[in-house]
């Protein structure tokens, strides 16, 4: 069984490598054949995960109970999908990404619409094969968030949506006097790369087994147990946009680098869920990256690299990086308004899947719902319903995990800073003790516990909104 | 059979993608797991190429006679190798490349020696499995140069070695008054990239299905029918070093882009041999790239980008780029001395394989033979026996094809310039008619003819030294 799982790990990481290349460097005409390569690998992996050998291997007690449980779950999910559907899903998402990229560039939703329709059909088929309790969304969500229920997530979101809206209003109002371009100024890409790298390194990211490249949409992917790739994009006039993106992806990367590498092929060596993954990225991006102790250490260096920051003192700078405003783009949204973007997507995804919303009506529905949450409409579809890569990759049921990640990150941070070593390090701008805490409580566990049990073991309780709302109120109200 | 061959093409090109990534971007710690991925793919490919299904498929007449002949040959070669040896070869070469790279950086042959010993053992085992007429080298050479015999290649080289030595002496003497750094001067990498790209594009390289990256050792590789990757390296003080390298790799790339892409999975859509491949790279690097009509068109552009060239007129410039001198590094050698580097490697490789030469004695033997050919010793092993990547990849029996390529390139060029359209284009600095000629006579044929039959069909004769010696004498004597 171990050898079969190693084979699957080799094929999966090879697929990740081809995918990374397609996003970063592959020439435009390469995409057709690349989609065939990826579909082939997806089919092979699916074949192995549904094989008789895999089923027999599930009885191998040397794997340990948790690995057996997770592998049984994977086998169950995989055998429910016909191989043709798996290959079609891979090829469709490969072509979908290329079409999305072009549609976004040309601000033309119609170029992406037929692909989205196909991706939705596939998602519905998948949900039907997997089965679900209440609605198709359940089946998709649990692909990303083990053992989560749409109903419970929706209830959790409903319970905080008013608080989130109030916090957003208060934060935006408080920031009204801070100009949008408060921290903008010439930021040559080379200098941005320097600062990004120095900061990622200081947070503990190991560049001997990782790197940062440039893509349209930032992401983190794992090409091997010692090969974690982050990406970012650059705004020549705003160093903070790329930097906070890099701290976010560094959080994902630290989680991947912190997993037990000898178990790379086993659930015990793999990330447990996106809601936990996102807790790590948001931890480093927001709880660390937008805090006073962090910038006490780093503002002087940023001022060296970007002279326009020199007249700005630490207090002003913190006000600048924690400025809140309603904006169209999710990945550039501040903490105070971020979850509103998720509520929008969660609502639209559920409507698309249930059939209440037609693909051709997506731009209209997007803009309408957006206006009800943010009070204005996006300037165009590139800044609206075309901004995210997720749907183009077939990633439906994914967005909810971002807000779960926000809640988890605050709850984990609140627990971690009870530890004297973490406090002491934090006060000196040294966040390695915080990383050590996360490695011990989260990273080292891999997928041995369900996400909610992991949260309970690390913080004493499953995901609750208290720490997150308290954090937002403290920072913005 | 077509589907089986498509599967092999997908796996081979996936392997090429992982390999490309290892050379260009992969972080240092990634190499261990990457070598496992590559070994796995090599084993899979070998499994398919030796399968019962493959053997049965050889009877499929719809493939056409030439494809059946080549596939039968491949099956025969593949079935003679045990799968364990194939996987070991892949893993050893992956680790060998990493060790070579480190040894080269540290100028320490001893770091590479144990890897070279293992690679030699594997090469000898391969030769034993494949069988050979006269010497083990035969079995390896014919992996790169279909149906070539070491004896015949050695005889061809022997027949011209005195001429080559004389031409080198005359050329070096004639160039004695030209300073080595005649064309050197500030060449920012960004400007070098611009010129490299403009020139590669003007020669017909399609950047929609290809790109250029930076590596320690330049190469060209094929990741898919519309995905050809070239690499180069930069000297900040010598734009010509990278540019001629790029023209060389562009020649390889044009051949790959010119192959019938619908036959990507068949011999009829694949390059026939390294001696033919190298004829294309040397054609664009030397016959085009070092010619007057080419620089009549491009010198003004180079002078725009590199102001230090502005005082130099076309005649002086041509003298500069055709300056001959004995140098330690093969890939930077001029045409007049290049083949001496090959004679050295051909001699040492045969001695290593026959067991006459021990691995630990390589640096000494290299320097001694080098001195007898060039009149001086390399300054260190990095500039001596560690300069080439080939052995570290298990590429033994490969170097002879470089000189075959030189002979072929001159002979093909001589024939092509009989064509009035080629002449007319060339006179105007437009080399697309020359590319069209090569596409029709060479690229379009894939592997349907043996290399020597292909040369005969294109030029009226198998490889002869006449055109090459005449070209060198005209240019250097």
Name the residue in chain A with its Cα closest to that of B226. A30
Residue A217 has pLDDT above 90, yes or no: no
To the question of domain B152-476 being in CATH 3.30.750.24, the answer is: no
Q: What one-character DSSP code corresponds to residue A445? A: G
Residue from B39, B223, B231, B265 whose CB has the most chain A CBs within 10 Å, to mutate: B223
Average pLDDT of span A147-166: 94
Residue A332 has pLDDT above 90, yes or no: no
Structure token digits, residue B359: 């691995």
Which residues of chain B make contact with A27, given a CB cutoff of 8 A? 207-211, 226-227
Which residues of chain A make contact with B264, given a CB cutoff of 8 A? 33
Which residues are registered as beta bridge partners of A211? A229
Cβ–Cβ < 8 Å for B16, B45: no
* Rounded Cα gap, residues B74 and B133, in angstroms: 18
User: What contacts 24+ positions apart, CB below 8 Å, involve A286-291?
Assistant: A286/A335, A286/A409, A287/A409, A287/A410, A287/A413, A287/A471, A288/A203, A288/A247, A288/A431, A288/A434, A289/A243, A289/A244, A289/A247, A290/A244, A290/A318, A290/A321, A290/A322, A290/A335, A290/A475, A291/A426
Average pLDDT of span A133-159: 93
* Rounded Cα gap, residues B453 and A37, in angstroms: 34
User: B41 to chain A nearest CA, in Å?
Assistant: 9
Residue B94 has pLDDT above 90, yes or no: no
Please give the mean pLDDT across all residues of chain B: 95
Task: Note whether A41 contacts B14, CB cutoff 8 Å.
Answer: yes
pLDDT of residue A216: 81
Which of the residue ranges A29-38, A44-53, B85-94, B151-160 would you say has the lowest mean pLDDT?
B85-94
Q: Which of A70, A87, A249, A278 is catalytic?
A: A249
Which residues of chain B make contact with A18, given a CB cutoff of 8 A? 14, 17
**ipTM score assigned to the predicted complex:** 0.88
pLDDT of residue A472: 97
Residue from B3, B29, B32 whose CB has the most chain A CBs within 10 Å, to mutate: B29
Domains of chain B, residue spans: 2-107, 152-476
Alpha-carbon separation of residue A5 from A70, A255, B29 (angstroms): 13, 21, 22
Task: Note whether B227 contacts A7, CB cutoff 8 Å.
Answer: no
A261-309 pLDDT, tens digit per residue, is 999 999 999 999 999 999 999 999 999 999 999 999 999 999 999 999 9
Any B CB within 8 A of A460 CB: no
End-to-end CA distance of chain A: 54
Average pLDDT of span B282-293: 97
* Rounded Cα gap, residues B24 and B34, in angstroms: 13
Q: State the catalytic residues of B.
A: 249
A362-374 pLDDT, tens digit per residue, is 999 999 999 999 9
Q: Which residues contact A357 (CB under 8 A, 6 or more apart)?
A: A348, A351, A365
| Residue labelled with tokens 């640096």 | B363
Residue B84 has pLDDT above 90, yes or no: no
Length of chain A: 477
Residue A96 has pLDDT above 90, yes or no: yes
Q: How many helices (H) and strands (E) does chain B have?
A: 20, 3
B381-408 pLDDT, tens digit per residue, is 999 999 999 999 899 999 999 999 999 9
pLDDT of residue A299: 98
User: B262 to chain A nearest CA, in Å?
Assistant: 11
A245-272 pLDDT, tens digit per residue, is 999 999 999 999 999 999 999 999 999 9
B304-332 pLDDT, tens digit per residue, is 999 999 999 999 999 999 999 999 999 88
The shortest CB-CB distance from B33 to any of A25, A36, A225 is to A225
Tell me which H or E stretch contains B211.
Answer: strand B210-214
DSSP A45-76: HHHHHTSHHHHHHTT-GGG-HHHHHHHHHHHH
Average pLDDT of span B112-120: 97
Q: Which residues contact A105 (CB under 8 A, 6 or more apart)?
A: A382
Residue from A227, A259, A269 whose CB has the most chain B CBs within 10 Å, to mutate: A227
- Other residues' Cβ atoms within 10 Å of the Cβ of residue A441: 18
């Amino acid at each position: 069984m171990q050898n079969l799982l190693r084979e699957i790990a080799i094929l999966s990481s090879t697929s990740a490598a081809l995918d990374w290349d397609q996003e970063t460097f592959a020439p435009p005409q390469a995409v057709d054949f690349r989609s065939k390569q990826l579909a082939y690998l997806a089919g092979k992996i699916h074949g192995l995960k549904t094989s008789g050998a895999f089923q027999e291997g599930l009885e191998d007690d040397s794997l340990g109970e948790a690995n057996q449980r997770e592998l049984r779950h994977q086998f169950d999910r995989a055998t429910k999908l016909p191989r043709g559907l798996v290959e079609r899903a891979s090829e469709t998402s490969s072509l979908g990404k290329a079409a999305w990229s072009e549609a976004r560039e040309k601000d033309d939703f119609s170029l992406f619409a037929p692909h989205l329709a196909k991706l939705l059909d596939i998602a519905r088929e998948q949900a039907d094969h997997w089965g679900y309790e209440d609605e198709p969304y359940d089946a998709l969500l649990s692909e990303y968030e083990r053992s989560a229920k749409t109903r419970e997530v929706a209830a959790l979101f409903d319970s905080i949506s008013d608080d989130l809206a109030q916090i957003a209003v208060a934060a935006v109002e408080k920031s009204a006097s801070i100009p949008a371009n408060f921290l903008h100024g010439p930021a040559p890409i080379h200098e941005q790369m320097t600062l990004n790298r120095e900061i990622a390194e200081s947070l503990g990211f190991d560049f001997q087994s990782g790197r940062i490249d440039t893509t349209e949409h930032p992401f983190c992917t794992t090409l091997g147990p010692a090969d974690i790739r982050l990406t970012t994009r650059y705004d020549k006039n705003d160093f903070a946009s790329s930097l906070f993106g890099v701290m976010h992806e560094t959080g994902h990367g630290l989680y991947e680098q912190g997993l037990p590498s000898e178990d790379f092929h086993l659930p015990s060596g793999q990330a447990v869920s996106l809601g936990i993954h996102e807790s790590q990225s948001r931890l480093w991006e927001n709880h660390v990256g937008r805090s006073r102790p962090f910038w006490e250490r780093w503002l002087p260096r940023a001022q060296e690299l970007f002279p326009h920051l020199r007249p700005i003192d630490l207090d002003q700078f913190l006000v600048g990086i924690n400025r809140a405003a309603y904006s169209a783009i999710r990945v550039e949204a501040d903490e105070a308004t971020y979850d509103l973007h998720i509520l929008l997507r969660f609502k639209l995804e559920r409507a698309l899947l249930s059939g209440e919303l037609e693909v051709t009506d997506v731009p209209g529905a997007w803009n309408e719902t957006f206006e009800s949450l943010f009070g204005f409409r996006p300037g165009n579809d590139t800044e609206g319903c075309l901004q995210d890569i997720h749907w183009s990759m077939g990633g439906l049921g994914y967005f909810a995990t971002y807000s779960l990640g926000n809640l988890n990150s605050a709850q984990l941070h609140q627990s971690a800073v009870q530890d004297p070593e973490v406090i002491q390090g934090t006060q000196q701008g040294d966040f390695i003790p915080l990383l050590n805490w996360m490695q011990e409580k989260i990273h080292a566990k891999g997928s041995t516990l369900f996400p909610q049990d992991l949260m309970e073991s690390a913080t004493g309780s499953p995901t609750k909104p208290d720490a997150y709302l308290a954090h937002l109120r403290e920072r913005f109200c």
